[in-house]
């Protein structure tokens, strides 16, 4: 006869385990300690088996009957309910260990093994830290787009639209890594692309007018601050690398006898080695600089420690002291200046200029073609550009660093 809640509540504690049947194999096992446990007896594969369904009153009589019904459906489909329960328990355990934080840490370790630049790793750690603060303990397969949107909106509310965009991107990287390692089925960030406020793109300040550029060059050559800073600014004008590539340059990278600077892949934006030809003018500046910093590893060491490179703010701060606002000139802007004036000269192939700027596409054949075909042209272009710098500055005299 089926059980009732009143009957169950009135059951006395027995001296030994006692079963009280509800029918269909479902029964309540009452122990001498007072515990009331739901059990389902059934046959599978010719064997008598028992499935635990939980404890009363946490699992009510109605819930126990629903679980009995679910088990019977599995049996009708040829599935062992006990084995299915073990699989579900295992899946829950896996889900609890495959949290967003755990997979984010795995991804970060992978990126570190791949030798990404320190600046890239620092930004990724920072963004992942923000993401883990909101999503870290959640099993990644259970995280919804709405959960991700909440922290993105919080960042947007502070006016940090670009940070919100980058945060969405790095969360997406974690999900795609989880998909690749069979721990998530999809990337919820994909549908959030249109939900965020697009940041206003502000290009780095650059002087592309020849006359105005001449004023900047004269200010650099007359700069009365640290000679290492002056040399760095001169080389930014002459070589137009990315500022970080120059600031972190080591003397071992320069072959002054053959006029070549080899920037290692770890410091390049595209993660591949880049060779730049050095004009005689540049070699002269570097040889003079060697008298100041050649005793150490770094060509442009920090004023605080020779073991650390020049600060990323040093060059822009020097430009400000010379009277150029952040809207007028920046260290990175020398790349736009050189690109504009080199292309306007009409003397050089556009691909050779792009190769010198390290703007080569990812295609292996095209990249090899750039390296092989344009080196000689880039050597000539480096000498011509050094002459142009002198002409624009109204002086072709070689530069020598004053005593420190």
Active-site annotation holds for 404: no
Spell out the residues 6+ positions from residue 13 whose beta carbon is closer than 8 angstroms to its own: 30, 32, 33, 34
Distance CA 186, CA 378 (A): 46
Q: What angle do CA 156, 202, 187 make, to 5 degrees?
A: 45
Residue 153 reports pLDDT greater than 60: yes
Active-site annotation holds for 272: no
Domain 100-195, classified CATH 1.10.150.130, yes or no: yes
* Predicted pLDDT of residue 199: 67
Q: Look at phi and psi of residue 180 and say left if phi exceeds 0, alpha if psi is from -120 to 50, else beta.
A: alpha
Between 207 and 235, residue with greater pLDDT? 235
* Predicted pLDDT of residue 157: 87
Catalytic residue among 166, 183, 242, 378: 242
- Cα distances (angstroms) measured from residue 318 to each of 38, 241, 263, 291, 337: 77, 18, 24, 22, 18
Residue 364 reports pLDDT greater than 90: no
> Any idea where the domains of the chain sit in the sequence?
5-93, 100-195, 210-392
| Cross-sheet strand order for the sheet of 36-44 | 18-23, 26-30, 36-44, 47-55
* Predicted pLDDT of residue 269: 67
Residue 361 reports pLDDT greater than 60: no
Which has the closest alpha carbon to 29: 8, 2, 58, 10? 8
Label residue 401 by pLDDT band (50, 70, 90). Answer: very low
Residue 51 CA to chain centroid, in angstroms? 47
Which has the closest alpha carbon to 167: 109, 104, 212, 220? 104
Active-site annotation holds for 370: no
Which has the closest alpha carbon to 214: 389, 94, 10? 389
The residues that bridge with 263 in the sheet, in sequence order, are: 274
Q: What is the mean pLDDT of the chain?
A: 86
User: Among 193-197, 211-215, 235-239, 240-244, where is mean pLDDT lowest?
Assistant: 193-197
Overall average pLDDT of the 288-316 stretch: 90
124 three-class SS: helix
CB 336 within 8 A of CB 209: no
Catalytic residue among 125, 204, 347, 359: 359
Residue 397 reports pLDDT greater than 70: no
Spell out the residues 6+ positions from residue 269 whose beta carbon is closer than 8 angstroms to its own: 242, 358
Is the whole-model pTM more than 0.85? no
Tell me how long the chain is. Answer: 404
Between 89 and 156, residue with greater pLDDT? 156
Domain 5-93, classified CATH 3.30.160.390, yes or no: yes
Overall average pLDDT of the 274-297 stretch: 93
* Predicted pLDDT of residue 285: 95
CB 196 within 8 A of CB 156: yes
Q: Which CATH class is domain 210-392?
A: mainly alpha
Overall average pLDDT of the 121-132 stretch: 89
Label residue 304 by pLDDT band (50, 70, 90). Answer: confident
CB 322 within 8 A of CB 369: no
The reply to whether 100-195 shares the fold of 5-93 is no
142 three-class SS: helix
Backbone angles phi, psi at 302, to 5 degrees: -70, 155
Catalytic residue among 124, 332, 378, 393: 332
Distance CA 352, CA 297 (A): 31
User: Among 188-202, 267-281, 346-360, where is mean pLDDT lowest?
Assistant: 188-202
Overall average pLDDT of the 10-22 stretch: 92
Label residue 398 by pLDDT band (50, 70, 90). Answer: very low
Residue 95 reports pLDDT greater than 70: no
Active-site annotation holds for 247: no
Query: What pLDDT digit, counting tens, does each position of 164-199 carry?
Result: 889 999 999 999 999 999 888 899 998 887 888 876
DSSP-assigned states of every residue in 66-113: HHHHHHHHHHHTT--HHHHHHHHHHHHHHHHHSBHHHHHHHHHHHHHH
CB 140 within 8 A of CB 99: yes
Task: Give percent above pLDDT 70 in the chain.
Answer: 89
Active-site annotation holds for 242: yes
Label residue 93 by pLDDT band (50, 70, 90). Answer: low
Active-site annotation holds for 369: yes
Catalytic residue among 20, 72, 287, 369: 369
């Amino acid at each position: 006869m089926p059980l009732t809640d009143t009957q169950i509540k009135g059951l006395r504690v027995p001296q030994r385990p006692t079963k009280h049947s509800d029918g269909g194999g479902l029964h309540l096992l009452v122990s001498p300690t007072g515990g009331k446990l739901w059990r389902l007896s059934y046959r599978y594969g010719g064997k008598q088996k028992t499935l635990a369904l939980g404890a009363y009153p946490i699992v009510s009589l109605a819930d126990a009957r629903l679980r009995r019904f679910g088990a019977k459906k599995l049996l009708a489909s040829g599935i062992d309910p006990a084995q299915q329960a073990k699989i579900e328990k295992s899946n829950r355990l896996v889900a609890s260990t495959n949290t967003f934080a755990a997979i984010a840490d795995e991804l970060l370790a992978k990126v570190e093994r791949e030798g990404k630049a320190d600046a890239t790793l620092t930004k990724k750690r920072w963004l992942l830290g923000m993401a883990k603060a909101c999503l870290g303990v959640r099993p990644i397969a259970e995280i919804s787009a709405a959960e991700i949107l909440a922290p993105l909106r919080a960042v947007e509310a502070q006016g940090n639209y670009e940070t919100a965009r980058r945060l969405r991107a790095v969360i997406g990287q974690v999900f795609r890594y989880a998909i690749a390692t069979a721990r998530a089925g999809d990337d919820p960030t994909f549908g959030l692309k249109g939900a965020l406020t697009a940041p206003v793109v502000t290009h780095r300040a650059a002087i592309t007018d020849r006359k105005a550029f001449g004023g900047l060059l004269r200010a650099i050559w007359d700069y009365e601050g640290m000679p290492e800073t002056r040399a760095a600014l001169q080389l930014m004008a002459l070589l137009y690398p990315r500022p970080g590539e120059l600031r972190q340059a080591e003397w071992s990278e320069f072959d002054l006898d053959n006029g070549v600077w080899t920037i290692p892949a770890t410091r390049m934006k595209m993660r591949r080695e880049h060779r730049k030809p050095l004009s005689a003018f540049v070699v002269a500046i570097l040889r003079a600089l060697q008298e100041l910093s050649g005793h150490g590893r770094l060509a442009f060491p920090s004023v605080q420690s020779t073991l650390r490179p020049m600060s990323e703010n040093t060059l822009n701060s020097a430009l400000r002291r010379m009277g150029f606002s952040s809207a007028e000139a920046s260290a990175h802007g020398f790349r736009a200046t050189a690109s504009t004036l080199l292309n306007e000269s009409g003397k050089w192939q556009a691909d050779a200029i792009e190769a010198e700027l390290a703007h080569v596409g990812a295609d292996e054949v095209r990249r090899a073609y750039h390296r092989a075909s344009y080196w000689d042209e880039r050597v000539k272009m480096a000498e011509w550009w050094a002459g142009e710098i002198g002409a624009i500055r109204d002086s072709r005299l070689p530069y020598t660093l004053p005593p420190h």
